[in-house]
């Protein structure tokens, strides 16, 4: 924890929108650190001028500490759901993670006429010579991926944007066809949902034109973190469907959308799975897709 006096101190998350604060600081080219303190949880957002700031999260309940780029959405959601405080520290020294000073190596005591026997490790700890060691950092709660595809692309970390945008456009197109077929206006409902979410997912703001969609084709001017894109888009589509699926026709609307999504799920299953969109399809439709 920094010993400096905060630039902004003890802001109440009940009254301060963290996403709006981060966006304002970024627009002002602020360099420093935003510290969020909640019950059993703390996070630091390191603003160093990068469009994807580094985020450190400490979950005391789960006894985990994770540092990664592009995890803003999780912090914003936590701050919205749980009362706490926000402190902002200015300065380039605050914008980088302070690494602990390594302990001094113990003195080497030389012994004469001593022949060291090689240490024999138990068989279960002996490395396989044909396997490259894995130095990747994992959360204590994160299980090993059982399949090669998941090991290479953990859910939400897939970075093939052309493939993701192609499948995102097809998913939106399926929802569009399902809603319009029931007599509702998809475009107006989708834009209303995007406006509602613009503070939390700035790329969805229709006025900014960062994200554009037309005729089953989606495009992005700037790319957020994949997990942020998937969360924001799926939530916008879920709210769009909720607006259309009302009254006596609610079940019929959801079933029609699920029917439209089914061919996309079958055709684009690999990209949907890797990007994290696959697990959102049932939530978007509000019923089982497949």
Cα end-to-end distance, the chain, whole Å: 48
Same-domain status, 87 and 165: no
- The pLDDT, as a whole number, for residue 15 is 84
Same-domain status, 165 and 280: yes
User: Looking at the domain assignment, is residue 22 inside a domain?
Assistant: yes
Same-domain status, 272 and 178: yes
- CA 279 to chain CA centroid, Å, is 14
User: Looking at the domain assignment, is residue 114 inside a domain?
Assistant: no
Element at 142 (helix H, strand E): none
User: Looking at the domain assignment, is residue 144 inside a domain?
Assistant: no
Name the domain boundary from 66, 94, 122. Answer: 94
User: Looking at the domain assignment, is residue 103 inside a domain?
Assistant: no
Same-domain status, 165 and 272: yes
User: Looking at the domain assignment, is residue 143 inside a domain?
Assistant: no
User: Could you tell me the residue range of the domain that residue 57 belongs to?
Assistant: 8-94
Name the domain boundary from 37, 69, 94. Answer: 94
User: Looking at the domain assignment, is residue 135 inside a domain?
Assistant: no
Same-domain status, 171 and 280: yes
What mean pLDDT is predicted for residues 73-97?
A: 86
pLDDT category of residue 276 using cuts at 50, 70 and 90: confident
User: How many domains are there within the chain?
Assistant: 2
Name the domain boundary from 94, 119, 152. Answer: 94
Rounded CA separation 274/285 (Å): 20
Rounded CA separation 189/258 (Å): 18
Digit-coded pLDDT (tens) for 191-247: 999 999 988 898 998 888 889 999 999 999 888 888 889 999 999 999 999 999 998
Same-domain status, 165 and 77: no
Per DSSP, the three-state class of 203 is helix
Q: What is the pTM of this model?
A: 0.49
Give the residues across from 90 on adjacent strands: 32
pLDDT category of residue 2 using cuts at 50, 70 and 90: low
Residue with tokens 């602020």, as numbered in its chain: 30
Same-domain status, 175 and 83: no
Produce one character per residue of 127-149: b if its CB has 16 or more CB atoms within 10 Å, e if not.
eeeeeeeeeeeeeeeeeeeeeee
User: Looking at the domain assignment, is residue 131 inside a domain?
Assistant: no
User: Looking at the domain assignment, is residue 128 inside a domain?
Assistant: no
């Amino acid at each position: 924890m920094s010993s400096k006096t905060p630039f902004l101190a003890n802001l109440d998350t009940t009254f301060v929108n963290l996403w709006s604060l981060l966006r304002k600081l970024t627009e002002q080219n602020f360099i420093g650190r935003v510290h969020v303190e909640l019950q059993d949880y703390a996070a630091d957002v390191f603003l160093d001028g990068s469009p994807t700031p580094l985020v450190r999260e400490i979950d005391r309940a789960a006894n985990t500490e994770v540092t990664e780029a592009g995890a803003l959405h999780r912090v914003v959601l936590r701050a919205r759901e749980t009362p706490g405080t926000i402190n902002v520290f200015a300065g380039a020294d605050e914008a980088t993670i302070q690494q602990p000073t390594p302990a001094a190596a113990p003195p080497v005591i030389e012994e004469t006429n001593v022949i060291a026997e090689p240490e024999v490790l138990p068989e279960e700890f002996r490395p396989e010579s044909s396997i490259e060691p894995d130095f990747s950092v994992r959360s204590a709660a994160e299980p090993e991926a059982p399949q090669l595809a998941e090991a290479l692309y953990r859910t939400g970390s897939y970075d093939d944007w052309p493939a993701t945008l192609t499948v995102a456009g097809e998913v939106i197109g399926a929802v569009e066809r399902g809603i319009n077929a029931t007599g509702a206006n998809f475009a107006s409902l989708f834009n209303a949902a995007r406006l509602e979410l613009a503070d939390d997912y700035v790329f969805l703001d229709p006025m900014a034109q960062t994200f554009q969609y037309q005729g089953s084709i989606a495009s992005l001017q700037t790319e957020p973190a994949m997990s942020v894109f998937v969360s924001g888009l799926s939530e916008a589509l879920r709210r769009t469907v909720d607006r259309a699926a009302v009254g006596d026709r609610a079940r019929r609307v959801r079933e029609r959308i699920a029917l439209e999504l089914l061919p996309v799920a079958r055709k684009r299953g690999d990209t949907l799975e890797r990007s994290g969109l696959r697990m959102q399809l049932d939530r978007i439709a509000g019923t089982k897709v497949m």
